[in-house]
Amino acid sequence: ISFNCVDSSLSSLKNCQSYINTGMDIATHVALDLVESFNDVEDVNSMENVMLEYAAMDRELNHYMRAIEETVNQIKREKPENIPDLKYLVKEKFTALESKNSDSDLQRNEKYVYFKDQLKQMRKQFCRQSDNDNEAIEQIDEDIAVTQSQMNFICPITQMEMKRPVRNKVCGHTYEEDAILKIIQTRKQQKKKVRCPKIGCSHADVKGSDLVPDEALKRAIDSQNKQ
């Protein structure tokens, strides 16, 4: 049995997955824009709903691709004399996977987790309240100024203001992207682990896979520099 057509279809589905990932990235940036612009909470919540819809699509697509791959592997393993009903077998496996769905699956989606985390960080950097009252707006401006003046935008490695901050998902500390990646690469060649450069941090195994762009911190730095 030739599976060339199946392989081609799987490749197309993986392209669809990249479109979903791009959509989730855009939704995350829009939500951060809304927080930075003090937009209504409902607008931010609507973006969260968009993220959950994308997460649901991603889960369904993953289940369908998994069902196809498992079916193909099963046929290759069993080598039946007659060509089985591929469509039925895939549907059977797909239905079984979908029957185990729960809301917590969506909450664990990697890009949704990143979305929630960046939203939380963004609200720390910028006041999340919005009010049309002039006095309230003035108070917000003062709060932002105080918050930003207390923030540390300096990389613990370069001792310079960060331009492309990345945050360690394990210990929560931030570094300049190029600086921490250079250390990781050097240590890797020496076959040694990387200790978090932040003074006092006990995390002793920093990995490149643990680093995520800290968009919220970058926006706060940019905002400070514009003032």
Is residue 6's pLDDT more than 80?
A: yes
Q: Which of 123, 157, 115, 117 is nearest to 143 (CA)?
A: 123
- The structure's pTM equals 0.74
165-168 and 211-213: which strand pairing?
Answer: antiparallel
Helix (H) / strand (E) containing 86: helix 86-98
Q: What is the pLDDT of residues 109-160, one digit of tens each?
A: 999 999 999 998 888 877 544 443 444 445 555 555 544 444 579 999 999 9
pLDDT at position 82 is 82
Tokens linked to 98: 């979908």
What's the pLDDT band for 39 if we cut at 50, 70, 90? low
pLDDT > 90 in the chain, percent: 61
CA distance 32 to 127: 12
Q: Which of 27, 99, 86, 7 is nearest to 59 (CA)?
A: 99
Q: What is the pLDDT of residues 70-89, one digit of tens each?
A: 998 888 888 887 878 888 99
CA distance 28 to 48: 8
State how far Cα 202 lies from the chain centre.
25
Strand intervals (E) in 116-217? 165-168, 174-176, 211-213
pLDDT at position 135 is 47
In terms of pLDDT, which residue wins out, 136 or 225?
225
